Amino acid sequence: MFIKLEKVSFTYLPGTPLAITALEDIDLEIERGESIGIVGRTGCGKSTLIQHFNALLIPQSGRVLVDGVDTGKKGVPLQEIRRKIGLVFQYPEDQFFEETVFKEVAFAPHNLGVEGKELEYKVRWALGAVGLNFEAIKDKSPFELSGGQMRRVAIASILSMEPEALVLDEPTAGLDPEGKRIILNQLEKLQKERGLTLIIVSHSMEDLARVAKRIIIMDSGKIKFDDDIRQVFSQVEWIRSSGIFPPVTAQVAWLLRERGFDVTPGVLTPQELAEEIQLKILERKKANVG
What are the residues binding another protein (CB under 8 A)? 41-43, 146-148, 173-181, 203, 205-206, 243-245, 247-249, 251-252, 255-256, 259-261, 270-271, 273-275, 277-278, 281
DSSP 178: H
Burial of 223 (0-12, 13-18, 19+ CB in 10 A): buried
Write down the least CB distance from residue 18 to another protein, Å: 11
Judged by CB, which is closer to another protein: 66, or 182? 182
Looking at the DSSP bridge assignments, the partners of residue 5 are 28, 64
Judged by CB, which is closer to another protein: 40, or 86? 40
3-state SS class at 147 = helix
Write down the least CB distance from residue 140 to another protein, Å: 12
CA 268 vs. chain centroid, Å, equals 17
3-state SS class at 99 = coil
Judged by CB, which is closer to another protein: 100, or 251? 251
Write down the least CB distance from residue 271 to another protein, Å: 7
Report whether 268 contacts 209 (CB < 8 A). Answer: yes
Write down the least CB distance from residue 242 to another protein, Å: 10
Q: Quick one: which of 181, 236, 233, 231 has its CA closest to 210? A: 181
Judged by CB, which is closer to another protein: 1, or 282? 282
Judged by CB, which is closer to another protein: 1, or 279? 279
Write down the least CB distance from residue 180 to another protein, Å: 8
Judged by CB, which is closer to another protein: 111, or 146? 146
| C-alpha to C-alpha distance for 250 and 239, rounded to whole angstroms | 12
Write down the least CB distance from residue 197 to another protein, Å: 25
Write down the least CB distance from residue 105 to another protein, Å: 21
Full strand arrangement of the beta sheet holding 165-169: 85-88, 165-169, 197-201, 35-39, 214-219, 222-228
Judged by CB, which is closer to another protein: 133, or 141? 141
In degrees to the nearest 10, what's the CA dihedral of 65, 59, 48, 178? -20
3-state SS class at 82 = helix
Element spanning 6, H or E = strand 3-12
| C-alpha to C-alpha distance for 134 and 137, rounded to whole angstroms | 6
